[in-house]
Every structure is written in structure tokens, then in C-alpha cells.
């Protein structure tokens, strides 16, 4: 073997190790570095330097036995240098020095996991709700601003600015890196779960996986939800969220046929679903129910479970579905829930009952650009024979849809109404 090839090989190995550490440890290392200083941006800079140093050093000297510890040592040294350079005051430098001592006292490979505290900081109610999910993706998982921006349909420079503003607020306003006290937890966990769910929803809307960035986002969100279940095993809503996401993930690929056409839930083949994933979701939901504290995500997961049961057995359970939606409306009322409830009502009591239930939302501005509302309305109107209004509703739905496959599906439904 020639020396050049060996070098190439070790460079590759170093890269692979660095990438694996990045995925697993990025948030852990940022959390440790920023815990005391609250300076997320500085922690990320230091970590980026450490990763660059690793890619230069590991191919020559081999991957260290404890890559996390190696990166942490380099990063905290950079952070201290950076703090001195910026003359941010002795306080920050001292905090970093204290941190260094604390880390040194620990066994190699046993860095404490403070990612939960980091998650609570990134989703703090004092931050703009719209930036919490992107911030979490960047700070906890290490996604770059460009990736986050493309997932949220924003320009990279605008996203980078908004992320920087949020990090500045964390530092200057003194947003703490702590897990809230048990009595405050119920009020705060919601924002964390919502941010994770929003990341998943963004990833899920790209069903064909044509856009790899979006597809990755669903996987990253699942990773975060699993992490939350590990870190907060006794939080029923956390279990509910992971269950909900797994039910959705299990059906992900069944939403398209071999030709790439959209397949609605009612036409999907349950055998094409990921059965072990559904089993895991079922088990999570059962575990959540033992805490006897119902919440939004548990109810949404229960709805998914009901859909799975109906599709697998062929036994209509719309009464149960409507009841779940009633419960959901009572704790988390939103026009979106109302639309879904009306669709279920349409299955149980007929299309007119559903249209009656939707009547009060006719002028609701929040639904005016919500595609599923217009698609549901079109379908219901067609079923009661109001063809002209149904066609109009289909036009709006088709105009609002981003996904070409779903657009084709709606266009097909529309053309069924106008026999030529």
C-alpha cells in the first residue's frame, strides 16, 4: 500500500468519526460550552474551530479514544482565547475556566448531558415563537443556517440574521440554561415539544424525498423526540409526541404509489406501513396513558392509532375519532382541529353534518389559505351535489397546494365532477 493511499484512508476515517461525533455530540458540547456564559454563538465558533482542528489532527495522529473529550478540550481553550480577545470581561473567562476544571474532574467519555437545558433555552417563551424551531435545529443538532433556511422557505441571509438575533437575546437578556422546576415544567415543555413537532411537520411535507434537506429534517426531529423521551421518560406528552411522529413516519412511504401519485389514507395498503414502528408507537402511547394526564400530543397520537386500527380491520370507528377530536378541541381548540373533526363527522353522520359544522368557519381568515380546509370543503360539497361550489373550492385547494402529486390528485378529483 502506498503511503498516499493510507493517508487518504485515515483522512476519510477522521471525517467519518468527526461526522458521527457531530451528529451525536454537537448539542451536548454547545450546551456545556454555553451553559455558564449563555453565549451560544461563541460556543458554536469555538466548536467549529475544534472540528476543523480535528480534521487536521486526526488523520495524522489517529482518532482519539474519546473524540468528544478531545473536541471539548480544544473548544473550551478556543472559547477562553476568544473571550480574552473580545475582552468580554473577567467574568466570562472565569466561567469558562471553572467549566474547564469541572470537565477535567470527570472521567473521559463521561461528559454530562445538558442538552435538555439547551432545548429549554432555545424554546424559551421570551424568544420569538417562529425562531425557536430553527434555533433548536441549529444549536442542538448543528444544522447550518443554509439548511435551516431552505427547510423553512427563507433566504439563508435572513435566517442567519434571525438566528443571530435570537442568540444575542439569550446572552444579553440572561435566558438560563436550566431545566425548569417540576411545577413550572408543564408550562414550558409545550414549547419544546411544539418546536420538535414543527421540525417534523416541515420534513414530512416532502413525501417523495425529492428534497433531501427536508427529508433529513424529519429524521432529525425523530432523533430529538427520542432524545426528549430519554431525558424526560416520565413526561406523558413527550411520549405522546414520539408516538404521534412514529405513526406518521410509519405511513410516510405509503403516501405515494410506484408512479409517484398521491395516495390518501383511505386508499393506502396497511401492509405497506412500517409495522414495527407502529408497534413502538402503540407501546409509547400505552406508557403515556398510565400517567393519566391527557394532552394534545397524546390525543393526536390516539387519533393516528384509531386510523391505523380502522384501516387494518376495515371496521369504521368514526364515532371514536369524532370523540377524540372533541377532546382535542376542548384542550387545544384551533380551526385546523375543527376542520379535521368535520371530516370525521362527514364519515359518521354524512356530508351535510360536516358542512354544518364548518359553516361557522366560513369567514375565518386563518383558514382562507389552508389547503386541507378547501379540499375537505370541495369533497363535502360534491357529495351533497353542490357541484358548482365544489368546483370553486377545488380551484382554491389546487391553487394553494405546494406538492405537485397532491395537486394532481386534487385535479383528478375535480375533473370527476365535470364529465366531458
Partner 1 sequence: MQYLLMIYSEEDGWNKMTDGERQQGVAAYQAYTESLRKADVLLGSNRLQNTNTATTVRLVDGKAQVLDGPYSDSKEQLAGYYLIDVPDLDAAIAWASRCPGAAHGLMEVRPIWPTATYAQTAA
The DSSP bridge partners found for residue 256 are: 262
Sign of the alpha-carbon dihedral angle for 103, 105, 111, 114: negative
Q: Which is closer to partner 1, CB of 89 or CB of 419?
A: 89
Smallest distance, Å, CB 177 to partner 1? 9
Q: Phi and psi at residue 316, in whole multiples of 5°?
A: -60, 135
Q: Which is closer to partner 1, CB of 77 or CB of 169?
A: 169
Smallest distance, Å, CB 228 to partner 1? 20
Q: Which is closer to partner 1, CB of 176 or CB of 210?
A: 176
Is the separation of the CB atoms in 18 and 58 below 8 Å?
Answer: yes
In degrees, rounded to 5, the angle at the alpha carbon of residue 340 between the alpha carbons of residues 235 and 274 is 60
Q: Which three cell numbers stand for residue 349?
A: 353522520
Smallest distance, Å, CB 172 to partner 1? 6
Smallest distance, Å, CB 168 to partner 1? 5
For helices 318-331 and 296-313, give the axis angle rounded to 10 degrees. Answer: 170
Smallest distance, Å, CB 79 to partner 1? 17
Rounded distance between C-alpha atoms, residue 35 and residue 176, angstroms = 8
Q: Which is closer to partner 1, CB of 21 or CB of 40?
A: 40
Q: Which is closer to partner 1, CB of 5 or CB of 89?
A: 89
Smallest distance, Å, CB 225 to partner 1? 24
Is the separation of the CB atoms in 113 and 231 below 8 Å?
Answer: yes
Is the separation of the CB atoms in 83 and 42 below 8 Å?
Answer: yes
Is the separation of the CB atoms in 350 and 376 below 8 Å?
Answer: no
Smallest distance, Å, CB 125 to partner 1? 8
Rounded distance between C-alpha atoms, residue 201 and residue 193, angstroms = 12
Binding footprint of partner 1 on the chain (CB under 8 A): 88-89, 124, 126, 164, 168, 172-176, 178, 180
Q: Which three cell numbers stand for residue 65?
A: 479514544
Residue 66: DSSP 8-state:
-
Rounded distance between C-alpha atoms, residue 373 and residue 182, angstroms = 39
Q: Which is closer to partner 1, CB of 176 or CB of 186?
A: 176
Q: Which is closer to partner 1, CB of 173 or CB of 359?
A: 173
Amino acid at each position: 500500500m502506498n503511503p498516499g493511499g493510507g493517508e487518504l484512508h485515515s483522512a476519510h476515517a477522521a471525517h467519518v468519526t468527526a461526522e458521527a461525533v457531530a451528529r451525536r455530540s454537537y448539542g451536548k458540547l454547545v450546551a456545556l460550552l454555553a451553559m455558564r456564559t449563555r453565549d451560544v454563538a461563541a460556543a458554536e465558533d469555538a466548536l467549529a474551530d475544534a472540528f476543523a482542528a480535528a480534521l487536521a489532527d486526526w488523520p495524522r495522529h489517529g482518532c482519539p479514544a474519546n473524540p468528544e473529550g478531545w473536541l471539548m478540550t480544544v473548544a473550551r481553550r478556543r472559547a477562553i482565547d476568544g473571550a480574552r480577545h473580545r475582552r468580554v470581561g473577567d467574568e466570562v473567562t472565569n466561567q469558562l475556566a471553572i467549566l474547564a476544571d469541572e470537565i477535567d474532574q470527570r472521567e473521559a467519555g463521561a461528559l454530562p448531558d445538558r442538552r435538555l437545558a439547551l432545548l429549554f433555552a432555545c424554546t424559551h417563551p421570551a424568544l420569538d415563537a417562529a425562531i425557536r424551531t430553527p434555533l433548536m435545529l441549529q444549536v442542538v443538532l448543528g444544522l447550518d443556517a443554509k439548511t435551516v433556511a431552505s427547510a423553512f422557505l427563507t433566504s439563508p441571509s435572513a435566517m442567519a440574521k434571525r438566528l443571530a438575533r435570537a442568540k444575542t437575546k439569550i446572552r444579553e437578556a440572561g435566558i438560563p440554561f436550566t431545566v425548569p422546576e417540576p411545577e413550572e415544567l408543564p408550562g414550558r415543555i409545550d414549547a419544546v415539544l411544539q418546536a420538535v413537532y414543527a421540525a417534523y411537520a416541515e420534513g414530512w411535507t416532502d413525501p417523495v424525498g425529492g428534497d433531501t434537506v427536508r427529508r433529513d429534517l424529519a429524521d432529525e426531529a425523530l432523533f430529538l423526540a427520542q432524545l426528549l423521551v430519554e431525558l424526560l421518560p416520565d413526561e406523558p406528552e413527550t411520549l405522546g409526541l414520539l408516538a404521534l411522529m412514529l405513526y406518521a413516519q410509519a405511513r410516510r412511504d405509503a403516501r405515494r404509489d410506484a408512479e409517484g401519485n398521491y395516495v390518501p389514507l383511505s386508499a393506502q395498503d396497511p401492509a405497506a406501513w412500517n409495522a414495527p414502528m407502529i408497534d413502538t408507537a402503540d407501546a409509547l402511547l400505552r406508557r403515556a396513558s398510565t400517567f393519566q394526564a391527557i394532552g394534545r400530543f397524546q390525543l393526536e397520537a390516539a387519533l393516528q392509532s384509531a386510523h391505523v386500527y380502522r384501516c387494518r380491520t376495515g371496521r369504521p370507528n368514526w364515532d371514536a375519532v369524532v370523540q377524540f377530536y372533541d377532546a382535542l378541541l376542548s384542550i387545544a381548540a384551533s380551526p385546523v382541529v375543527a376542520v379535521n373533526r368535520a371530516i370525521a363527522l362527514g364519515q359518521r353522520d354524512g356530508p351535510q353534518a360536516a358542512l354544518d359544522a364548518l359553516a361557522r368557519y366560513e369567514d375565518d381568515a386563518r383558514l382562507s389559505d389552508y389547503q386541507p380546509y378547501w379540499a375537505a370543503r370541495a369533497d363535502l360539497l360534491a357529495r351533497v351535489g353542490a357541484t358548482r361550489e365544489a368546483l370553486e373550492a377545488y380551484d382554491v385547494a389546487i391553487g394553494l397546494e405546494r406538492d405537485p402529486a397532491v395537486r394532481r390528485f386534487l385535479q383528478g378529483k375535480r375533473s370527476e365532477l365535470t364529465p366531458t
